[in-house]
């Protein structure tokens, strides 16, 4: 009887498994057009994101463009050691982390505040105007914005004229020629460009908050600030946590386009970041293996930061990427 029961249970299990498989294939067939569209995206990722990862091995080789990757001789960890022993490494790390931390401390909360303020606007027309004006800089390249910043910050630019008119300075200042101003210029111009665009995600999250919560709070006598603090912010906590994790993981990214446009020989001590260092020392000099080794170190650190930020955020807010 026991053997027969087991056999019957196995048959039922196999039948259920086949039924599930058939159901899955039917569902896939029913979504075949969507699946084809998804497969195109997967193919794009494989071709441009995963297959090129084979080239990482040149970080452990002495690669030259006249040879193939397989023909290049192995050198082990020499390029990693050379990077860690480079005399310019301390101030490169200092500049990279300094600007990134300022962007994180100032640039991360500002889009949240901006989204909250936009959500409180009652005039739909004025709200659309503010959104359009704040989004516009995002669609301009750093080549254009860099030229605008250079014009504004020149000795005859609008910034110097305004400060002279107010009596705050006695003579024009060449801001892009002074290293002590470079970090502030980078952070402020990055906020100017991305503030409105970054707020879109938060506005989308705010729009999903149930109006009934605000109605109940109004009945209880809550003011606007109390509604923001007790309803809006807790409701978008998950979105804030996810974006914070991604911001932490990208802390070693310094927006290469922006830095390259704004930097010059006079502010080099404050503008030489990892991305610029890799470009100048590695790619511009033909040291492809060295540049790959530095990029691999940067990627590994970013992975560690991502995992750490994900774990900490999960403990504090019960929200995580995985």
pLDDT tier, 285 (very low <50, low <70, confident <90, very high otherwise): confident
Give residue 12's pLDDT: 60
Taking the C-alpha atoms of residue 287 and residue 62, their distance in angstroms, rounded to an integer, is: 9
Unique residue bearing structure tokens 């020499």 = 78
Any domain includes 191: yes
pLDDT at 9 over 70: no
Any domain includes 71: no
Same domain? For 43 and 86 the reply is no
Q: What is the pTM of this model?
A: 0.81
Give residue 105's pLDDT: 92
Any domain includes 303: yes
Same domain? For 33 and 95 the reply is no
Same domain? For 188 and 219 the reply is yes
Any domain includes 88: yes
Taking the C-alpha atoms of residue 151 and residue 141, their distance in angstroms, rounded to an integer, is: 16
Same domain? For 309 and 175 the reply is yes
Same domain? For 85 and 165 the reply is yes
Taking the C-alpha atoms of residue 322 and residue 320, their distance in angstroms, rounded to an integer, is: 5
Same domain? For 120 and 168 the reply is yes
Same domain? For 256 and 168 the reply is yes
pLDDT at 17 over 80: no
Unique residue bearing structure tokens 């800089």 = 137
CATH code at position 191 = 1.10.3720.10
pLDDT tier, 11 (very low <50, low <70, confident <90, very high otherwise): low
Any domain includes 86: yes
pLDDT at 56 over 70: yes
The pair of structure tokens assigned to 40 is 């195109």
Q: Judging by beta carbons within 10 Å of its beta carbon (0-12, 13-18, 19+), is residue 23 exposed, middle or buried?
A: exposed
Give residue 10's pLDDT: 57
Any domain includes 67: no
Q: What is the dihedral of CA 295, 298, 299, 300, to 10 degrees?
A: 120
Domain count, the chain: 2
pLDDT at 121 over 90: no
pLDDT tier, 206 (very low <50, low <70, confident <90, very high otherwise): very high
Give residue 117's pLDDT: 92
Helix, strand counts (H, E) of the chain: 17, 0
pLDDT tier, 108 (very low <50, low <70, confident <90, very high otherwise): very high
Summarize the confidence of residues 198-219 as an average pLDDT: 89
Same domain? For 235 and 301 the reply is yes
Same domain? For 217 and 143 the reply is yes
Neighbours of 314 (CB within 10 A): 15
Give residue 175's pLDDT: 92
pLDDT tens for 173-196 read 999 999 999 999 999 999 999 999
Please give the residue range of the domain that contains residue 54. Answer: 2-60
Same domain? For 232 and 126 the reply is yes
Any domain includes 68: no
pLDDT at 142 over 90: yes
Give residue 14's pLDDT: 63
Any domain includes 143: yes
Give residue 312's pLDDT: 86
Do residues 291 and 79 make contact, with C-beta atoms less than 8 angstroms apart?
no
Same domain? For 113 and 247 the reply is yes
Same domain? For 55 and 138 the reply is no
């Amino acid at each position: 009887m026991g053997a027969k029961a087991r056999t019957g249970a196995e048959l039922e299990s196999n039948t259920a498994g086949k039924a599930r498989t058939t159901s899955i294939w039917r569902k896939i067939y029913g979504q075949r057009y969507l699946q084809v569209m998804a497969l195109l995206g997967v193919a794009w990722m494989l071709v441009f994101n995963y297959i090129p990862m084979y080239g990482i091995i040149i970080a452990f080789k002495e690669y030259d463009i006249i040879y193939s990757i397989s023909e290049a001789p192995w050198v082990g960890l020499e390029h990693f050691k050379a990077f860690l022993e480079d005399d310019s490494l301390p101030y490169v790390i200092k500049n990279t982390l300094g600007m990134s931390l300022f962007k994180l401390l100032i640039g991360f909360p500002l889009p949240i505040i901006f989204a909250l303020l936009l959500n409180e606007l009652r005039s739909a027309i004025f709200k659309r105007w503010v959104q359009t004006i704040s989004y516009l800089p995002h669609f301009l390249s750093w080549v254009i914005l860099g030229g605008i910043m250079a014009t504004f910050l020149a000795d005859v630019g609008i910034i110097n004229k305004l400060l002279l008119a107010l009596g705050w300075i006695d003579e024009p200042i060449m801001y892009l020629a002074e290293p002590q101003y470079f970090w502030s210029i980078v952070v402020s111009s990055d906020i100017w460009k991305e503030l409105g665009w970054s707020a879109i995600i938060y506005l989308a999250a705010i729009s999903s908050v149930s109006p009934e919560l605000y109605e109940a709070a109004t009945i209880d006598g809550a003011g606007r600030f109390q509604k923001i603090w007790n309803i809006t912010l807790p409701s978008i906590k998950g979105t804030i946590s996810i974006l914070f994790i991604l911001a932490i993981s990208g802390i070693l990214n310094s927006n290469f386009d922006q830095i390259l446009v704004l930097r010059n020989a006079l502010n080099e001590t404050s503008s030489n970041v990892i991305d610029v260092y890799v470009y100048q020392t590695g790619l511009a000099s033909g040291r492809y293996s060295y540049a790959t080794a530095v990029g691999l170190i940067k990627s590994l650190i970013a992975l560690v930061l991502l995992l750490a930020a994900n774990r900490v955020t999960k403990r504090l807010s019960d929200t995580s990427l995985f």
